[in-house]
Amino acid sequence: MKQYADGRQRRFLALDEIVTLGAAIRDAEAAGEGGTGLAGIRCLLMTGLRRIEALALPRARVDGRAHYIRFEDTKSGAQLSPIGAHAVKMLKNLPRRDGCPWAFPAERGDGHFVGLPKVLKRVCRRAGLDGVTVHSIPFAAFLTLSTGQR
């Protein structure tokens, strides 16, 4: 009988792996890797947002002055998610596309970016990290914030 996954996250990044991932992101950027995917990984690392929360983020929901992201419809209703100054700066400096509401626009079409798992896989291969998924990244943000390391 096939055993199904229990849905629990078991792979988390240690601080040294976060540093290694950051270096690999910079290396990938220098080698010409697409900026939207790398910015998406940075957003997950800096904010603790889930993949779809970040990638489907309308720019209008980011309040840079108050340092939060406004989510109007979550399981528990409207919610504010505080973000740090570095995350605000990163989100503010993302390239804009005329008429596109998304912070992370698709490379083609009108939707938001969806290719983050493939970009993360390439970056993790470059970093020599195994077993890292987009679900591993948000926890890394809380680990980094709780230890005071950047």
pLDDT digit string (tens) for 55-102? 999 999 999 999 999 998 877 888 899 999 999 999 999 988 889 999
Q: Provide the pLDDT for residue 150.
A: 45
Give how far Cα 44 sits from Cα of 25, 90, 106, 110, Å. 13, 11, 17, 22
Examine residue 8 and state whether it is found in any structural domain, yes or no: no
Question: For residue 10, which of 149, 135, 150, 143 has the smallest C-alpha distance?
Answer: 135
**Residue 117: which pLDDT band, with cuts at 50, 70 and 90?**
very high
Assess whether pLDDT exceeds 70 at residue 115. Answer: yes
Q: Provide the pLDDT for residue 73.
A: 80
Residue 20: which domain range?
A: 15-56+86-147
* Average pLDDT of the segment spanning 37-63: 93
Encoded tokens for 46: 């800096």
Q: Can you tell me the distance from the alpha carbon of 133 to that of 40, in angstroms, rounded to the nearest whole number?
A: 13
Max mean pLDDT among 30-39, 89-98, 119-128, 132-141 falls in 119-128
Q: What is the DSSP string of 6-65?
A: ---------HHHHHHHHHHHHHHHHTT--HHHHHHHHHHHHH---HHHHHT-BGGGEETT
* Average pLDDT of the segment spanning 20-34: 93
Examine residue 81 and state whether it is found in any structural domain, yes or no: no
Assess whether pLDDT exceeds 50 at residue 121. Answer: yes
Examine residue 26 and state whether it is found in any structural domain, yes or no: yes
* Average pLDDT of the segment spanning 12-25: 90
Please state the domain count of the chain: 1
Examine residue 71 and state whether it is found in any structural domain, yes or no: no
Examine residue 67 and state whether it is found in any structural domain, yes or no: no
Examine residue 110 and state whether it is found in any structural domain, yes or no: yes
Examine residue 5 and state whether it is found in any structural domain, yes or no: no
Least confident range of 30-39, 43-52, 74-83, 90-99: 74-83
**Residue 128: which pLDDT band, with cuts at 50, 70 and 90?**
very high
Examine residue 24 and state whether it is found in any structural domain, yes or no: yes
Helical (H) or strand (E) element with 118: helix 116-127
Contact 75/14 with Cβ under 8 angstroms?
A: no
